[in-house]
């Protein structure tokens, strides 16, 4: 399960890629990890209940990776990834486009199996067709301004690491991003597909 990604681009480069205003965002490049603030792109009205207009302007805002679990959960750790989309915990927010977001990244990491030395290696994957790509996310309003990543079946490259899922990487055009941020669930859910292995390349994991 993905628990680390790189975003080696500053706020200005992210804003240019997605056609938004960087504002005063101080992001200078770095990484996403549980409990860490990273920039996300949203068209929702954070902290305001109820539906908005069909075309809220896109904004880049900081949010924490990880959504507080429901009170009934046995594990109190924040939820990083959406695996069961039909769960009552997720379904309402996923079907309301205001709560969907784009999570910019330049690479995501997955663990492989242990080698002869008994140590597991972390594999870092980039998209060869888009230096800054968008992962599909969903955000929650609570005491923590958190978000989680949508997952899908792994492609052949990620499956070779014996991973059961991978983050959803959206196609490299504004139409797909707009569908995720604005459209009904049927059209948005059609985007939740594994990214082509032929469009991914691997690199060594740098120090965070």
Q: Model pTM?
A: 0.92
The sign one gets for the Cα dihedral 182, 187, 192, 194 is negative
**Do the strands 107-114 and 146-152 form a parallel or antiparallel pair, or are they unpaired?**
unpaired
Residue 73 lies in a domain: yes
Do 75 and 69 contact (CB within 8 A), yes or no? yes
d(CA 43, CA 59): 6
Residue 94 lies in a domain: yes
In this prediction, residue 190 carries a pLDDT of 98
Residue 75 lies in a domain: yes
d(CA 95, CA 176): 16
Residues contacting 110, CB < 8 A, separation 6+? 2, 122, 123, 125, 158, 161, 163, 166
Structure tokens at 12: 């200005």
d(CA 177, CA 171): 8
Give the pLDDT confidence of 192-202 residue by residue, as tens digits: 999 999 999 99
Average pLDDT over residues 149-169: 96
Residues contacting 113, CB < 8 A, separation 6+? 120, 161, 162
DSSP bridge partners of 201: 126
Give the pLDDT confidence of 17-45 residue by residue, as tens digits: 999 999 899 999 999 999 999 999 999 76
d(CA 142, CA 112): 34
Residue 15 lies in a domain: yes
Residue 68 lies in a domain: yes
Per the structure, the count of domains in the chain is 1
Residue 208 lies in a domain: no
Give the pLDDT confidence of 74-89 residue by residue, as tens digits: 889 999 999 999 999 9
For residue 146, give its domain range.
Answer: 5-47+56-203
Residues contacting 174, CB < 8 A, separation 6+? 19
Residue 123 lies in a domain: yes
Give the pLDDT confidence of 120-129 residue by residue, as tens digits: 788 999 999 9
In this prediction, residue 1 carries a pLDDT of 78
In this prediction, residue 55 carries a pLDDT of 65
Report the CATH number that the domain containing residue 31 is assigned in CATH.
3.90.1680.10
């Amino acid at each position: 399960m993905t628990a680390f990604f790189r975003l080696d681009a500053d706020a200005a480069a992210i804003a240019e890629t997605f056609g938004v205003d960087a504002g005063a965002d101080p992001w200078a490049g770095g990484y996403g990890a549980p409990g860490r603030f990273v920039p996300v792109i949203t068209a929702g009205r954070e902290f305001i209940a109820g539906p908005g207009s069909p075309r809220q302007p896109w904004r880049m805002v900081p949010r924490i990776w990880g959504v507080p679990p429901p009170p009934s959960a046995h594990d109190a750790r924040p939820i990083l990834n959406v695996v069961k989309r039909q769960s009552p915990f997720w379904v309402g927010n996923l079907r309301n486009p205001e709560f969907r977001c784009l999570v910019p990244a330049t690479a995501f990491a997955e663990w492989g199996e242990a080698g002869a030395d008994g140590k597991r290696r972390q594999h870092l994957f980039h998209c060869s067709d888009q230096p800054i790509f968008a992962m599909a996310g969903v955000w929650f309003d609570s005491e923590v301004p958190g978000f989680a990543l949508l997952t899908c079946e792994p492609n052949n490259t990620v499956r070779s690491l014996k991973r059961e899922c991978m983050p959803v990487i959206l196609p490299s055009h504004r139409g797909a991003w707009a569908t995720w941020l604005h459209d009904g669930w049927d059209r948005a859910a059609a985007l939740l597909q594994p990214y082509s292995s032929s469009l991914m390349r691997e690199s060594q994991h740098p120090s965070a």
